[in-house]
Amino acid sequence: MVGLGAGLSALALTGCQKKTKPVSENTFWERQPDDADWKEVNASFWFSQHPRITYWRRHYDKTRDPWKLWKRAGRYLPEIRREFKEQKLPLELCLLPMVESSFDPLARSQRAVGLWQFIAPTAIDMGLIVNNRMDERLDWGKSTVAAAKYLKQLARQFNGNWGLVLAAYNFGPGSVSRATQAQGTRDFWALEVRQETAEYVPKFLAMVQLLRESFPEV
């Protein structure tokens, strides 16, 4: 997101809530310790070569969307990374707003709002205030803390199966749990889900893979 050869420390940190050291002191993509709160931490998931990921990689090579969004994310990534690292979440998840809101903290869809596109019930469950006078989904700092909390909750529920975690973030944990039970599989690629969710995961993974290859040392 920052141009060839530039590190994440070169990104403007204005807008972050705290003054801290640049995140480029450590590799952005560094793996987390193996002391997570769930049982099955599947690091290889992020490197999957599924045909749907290949399709979206080719698409993004033409549109250049991941690189455009990488630039836009510069204001937010240092703070997001600190929160997710503290929660021992895979740092790839820091980039989830790419497919959720295009890193627009004021983004609105039919029901979802903010950088992390929370619907109101989930936001409230995660401790955000959502009422007629205040909507903390629009506060990207607070909603980032809530997103980390929610993703960690999903990681525990699905035992670190990141395909199911991402699907649940998009489709809802109840819907994904019912699908896995009815179909007798916990393999996201074998699971029959709605089309939006079926494409959501490979789209995100395609972006992550392309950016990891473009900026391996940020």
What is the rounded CA–CA span in Å between residue 155 and residue 96? 15
Known active-site residue 100: yes
Average pLDDT over residues 18-36: 51
- Whose tokens are 């959720």? That residue is 100
pTM metric for this prediction? 0.84
**pLDDT for the residue 6:** 37
62-73 tens-digit pLDDT: 999 999 999 999
Indicate which residue of 92, 100, 199, 213 is catalytic.
Answer: 100
Q: 215: exposed, middle or buried (C-beta count within 10 Å: 0-12, 13-18, 19+)? A: buried
Average pLDDT over residues 63-86: 94
Instruction: Name the pLDDT band for 179 (thresholds 50, 70, 90).
Output: very high
| Nearest C-alpha neighbor of 164 from the set 138, 136, 188, 191 | 188
**pLDDT for the residue 110:** 86
DSSP string, 53-82: HHHHHHHHHHH-HHHHHHHHGGGTHHHHHH
36-55 tens-digit pLDDT: 554 455 668 889 999 999 99
